[in-house]
Amino acid sequence: MSILKLFTFAARKTCHKNLIIKNLSPFSANCAFDICRRQFSNCGSEEGKEIRVPTPYGHIACKEYGNPNGHPVLAIHGWMDNCGSFEPLIPLIIKENNLHIVAIDETGCGLSSHLPPGAEMTYFSLLKDMRRVTKYLKWKKFSLIGHSKGERY
């Protein structure tokens, strides 16, 4: 099931019974996610466990949710954001779908370490962060969930 379908199902079932979402474009999918963040932020709670993945320049900060034996999902945030952007959505999808979600703060965002002065941040920097996290977690197969810039991976 795609994350958009999961969001739609969870939002309909858990929080707002009159919400109808169909035939969403990528743009309107982002809008739906933003609606979830603004309107459904009190729809339950799922406490995340903070973890730090070591890097040569410090660490990548992450929040881990759900059943460690559930289906692994890596959550990637958008521009000028952090892993907390997924907190309103996670309670809506995690339990019924038996998910193990790890949301990351990419390098230089949220609680993650910044690169040293003079180090170059490229389009591929986030891919390196993702690889470091999945290797640390020993995940060989996993799903991705992202919004804004994070949906491009």
Residues paired with 143 in a beta bridge: 73
Whether 85 sits among the annotated catalytic residues: the reply is no
CA–CA distance, 46 with 88 (Å, rounded to integer): 9
CA–CA distance, 49 with 94 (Å, rounded to integer): 14
Q: Which of 28, 113, 125, 148 is catalytic?
A: 148
CA–CA distance, 75 with 8 (Å, rounded to integer): 17
Active-site residue list: 148
